[in-house]
Structure 1
């Protein structure tokens, strides 16, 4: 009996496609091998979701393999727009220096501004400077002060690395990206996905309006609890931030 194709009556029978079983109209889809071997559109398969899964997997493997022997580390977040020599840039340099002097690797997003400042401070103190970059239209790769760098396509893979290989977060003033990382870290601690994971904000003048809104609106409306407000420490002195990292980080559990 000849082998049927998708247009033959035999296509009405259930078909297997790996672990997937196809019936009736769904069984009319071409075989997976045809997509693989047909060269009519040689690049199409690289834009499909199954291929993206492999790419995502490769990013996790690369990140885990590169960072698994990093040792004690702290992730530092802050604005990419902080100008060298500015107040926030200097804060970033001081944070990086103090972390390195305390024997902690410094992990940043690898970009310019406050991220660059923290990496620079770590290098100046002979510490390990790590940058986890991301494809963005307005950034041009890792800054020059990154010693160990990994570039990612996907934000969620990169975020996993920020948390998994750090024992806490220090957050400098920043914009949407910084706030995204801050609130994700707070959510992970609130939901006990990570434990004993200190989150320290530097700059009371900058952060107090946000914290006031959290207390006066979120807490007042019952959207968060009083205990949730204790997830954050707010300081002005980078030395206090580093002391909190060292004092509160025991028992950190990676996701």
Structure 2
């Protein structure tokens, strides 16, 4: 039997002819059409408020956590999938919960690594026209209608970001985090990119074009660490949690 078409709209599951072609975010941001938005938009504030309340309530006691980002299009046999799964397990062993976007690909792999190792595997899903809910390895999941509410949860409840190869969504999360750190909206928030071959061109462009033309400061490049070593990435997160430099064993009095 063919699996019915389905989509989640916040906590609501819709299937077959109940699935709408547009998303809640799209309807909020689209200014075209009749002017009834004047009357309906104020009421949307209540729905937006409820998403923040649900997120804060579910994640308030999560404990130390790291957000892992990467492409939903990463196939099972791709090295990035194996890296994400191993990373999820290593972060869990280091005492972190693992938060992803809850989708397939690299997100699924990180959730799987955390879940199978006995850690806390969290998925923050989003209503999209081409994705059908949270992956099976999410142990605690929240579905959001609005990107901005979901983004707040990632930053508020994560102590750092680890970013695997990904596309526009991954880049969006990456540069939002870097902007928040640069503007000191968040402090002590490490950002690590996994994959020197994948991210090397981006970092070179930032250095040779953006920095060279005076569009950023030299210290802004220090906000990013690029590595192929998963253990190094985890050590950076642990060091930030403990308030020490990576690779330095803190002195403990006898």
Query: Is 1:75 aligned with 2:64?
Result: no
- After superposing on structure 2, the runs of 4+ consecutive aligned residues of structure 1 that deviate more than 6 Å are 44-47
Q: 2:240 aligns with which of 227, 233, 248?
A: 248
Higher relative contact order (CA 8 A, sep 6+): 2
Partner of 2:128: 136
Q: Secondary structure at the match of 2:52?
A: helix
Partner of 2:49: 57
Structure 2 stretches lacking a partner, 5+ long: 1-35, 244-254
CA distance in 2, matches of 1:89, 1:51: 41
Task: Work out whether residues 198 and 249 of structure 1, in 8 Å CA contact, stay in contact via their aligned partners in 2.
Answer: no
CA distance in 2, matches of 1:184, 1:246: 22
CA RMSD of aligned residues (A): 1.4
1:74-111 deviation line (CA, Å, top 9, x unaligned): 00000000001211100100110000111110000000
Partner of 1:231: 223
Partner of 1:24: none
Partner of 2:214: 222
Q: Secondary structure at the match of 1:75?
A: strand
Partner of 1:117: 109
Query: Is 1:95 aligned with 2:96?
Result: no
**Residues 123/47 of structure 1: CA separation in 2 closer, same or farther (3 Å cut):** farther
Structure 1 stretches lacking a partner, 5+ long: 1-43
Q: Secondary structure at the match of 2:216?
A: coil
* TM-score computed with the length of structure 2 as normaliser: 0.80
CA distance in 1, matches of 2:83, 2:226: 14
Task: Work out whether residues 196 and 250 of structure 1, in 8 Å CA contact, stay in contact via their aligned partners in 2.
Answer: no
CA distance in 1, matches of 2:182, 2:242: 17
Partner of 1:177: 169
CA distance in 2, matches of 1:109, 1:138: 14
Q: 1:155 aligns with which of 138, 147, 162?
A: 147
CA distance in 2, matches of 1:155, 1:139: 14
CA drift at 1:46:
11
* TM-score computed with the length of structure 1 as normaliser: 0.79
Q: Secondary structure at the match of 2:124?
A: strand
Partner of 1:11: none
Partner of 2:19: none
Rg larger for: 1
Question: Aligned pairs, how many?
Answer: 208
CA drift at 1:248:
2.0
CA distance in 2, matches of 1:65, 1:250: 26
1:148-206 deviation line (CA, Å, top 9, x unaligned): 00000000100000010010000000000000000000000000000000000000000
CA distance in 2, matches of 1:122, 1:55: 31
CA drift at 1:250:
4.5
